[in-house]
Amino acid sequence: MVRSFVPQVAALAWASLLCAQAPAPAAPSAPARDLTGIWMVRNPSSMRAYAGATFTKEEPDLTPWALAKYKEAKNSNNGIYTLETTNDPVITKCYPPGVPRVYFHPYPFEFVSTPNYLLMLYEYDHTLRRIYTDGRALPRDPDPNWMGTSVGRWENDTTFVVESVGFNDKTWLDRLGHPHSTELRVTERFRRTDRDHLQIDFIIQDPKALQKPWTSTFFAELRPKWELGEISCSGDYLDFKTFEK
């Protein structure tokens, strides 16, 4: 007797079609009101032509004051200036990077929650930010410092909004040398899209340096198995020449 394999073939084909049409497993949901953990900036390939050095492909709208300052910048990203001839204050003076430039350093950062504030610990140069969550308002006349004075609040279960003022004017906004004044105000919206992914929306305002707010969005990924190491600007193990290559 000859057996027909048509039913078996049809069944296999149907099963393959069902598997092909099955949706991908959903990503694990983000825990409510929790950013705890170590994160690493990982922007999509469409942004990589510029996002290692600045926030947008297009230049921000600078005021005449800022444009004059920007023309004085000798950044080491475009090949014109070397690490010996740049005037980048992070490289030449070991200045803290400031906010928002700190996001251009290719090292992870960690959120640590406490009852009254959220700590942001950056692997680069032991940099620390304290973001107050106790309901206080931003100071009206803050003392200028490197990383600003920050307050934060939960907008909903997945979005944490941080507002920062009180910066000195000794840092650049990015690695290209866009300047800012002590009137700088930075808003960061950290939105945890799922357990392992974070979207960071920036609004950068400075009436002395920017004719309109400069906005951008970066992305980060959770690194649950990582621990922060030690990277020091003054450490002889950190060879910026090798880093630039």
Rg (CA), the chain: 23
Any domain includes 177: yes
CA 159 remoteness from chain centre: 15
Residue-wise pLDDT for 103-127, tens only, equals: 999 999 999 999 999 999 999 998 9
95 pLDDT exceeds 50?
yes
166: left (phi over 0), alpha (psi -120 to 50) or beta: left
Any domain includes 221: yes
Any domain includes 20: no
Which pLDDT score, from 0 to 100, does residue 22 have? 61
Which pLDDT score, from 0 to 100, does residue 33 have? 98
Any domain includes 176: yes
Any domain includes 75: yes
CA distances from residue 114 to 109, 134, 183, 198, 225 in whole angstroms, order as listed: 16, 10, 29, 20, 21
The number of folded domains in the chain is: 1
> Which residue range forms the structural domain that includes residue 126?
31-244
> In what helix (H) or strand (E) does residue 12 lie, and over which residues does it extend?
helix 6-21
CA distance linking residue 105 with residue 107, whole number of Å: 6
40 pLDDT exceeds 90?
yes
Residue-wise pLDDT for 46-92, tens only, equals: 999 999 999 999 999 999 999 999 999 999 987 789 989 999 999 99
Any domain includes 21: no
Any domain includes 6: no
Any domain includes 16: no
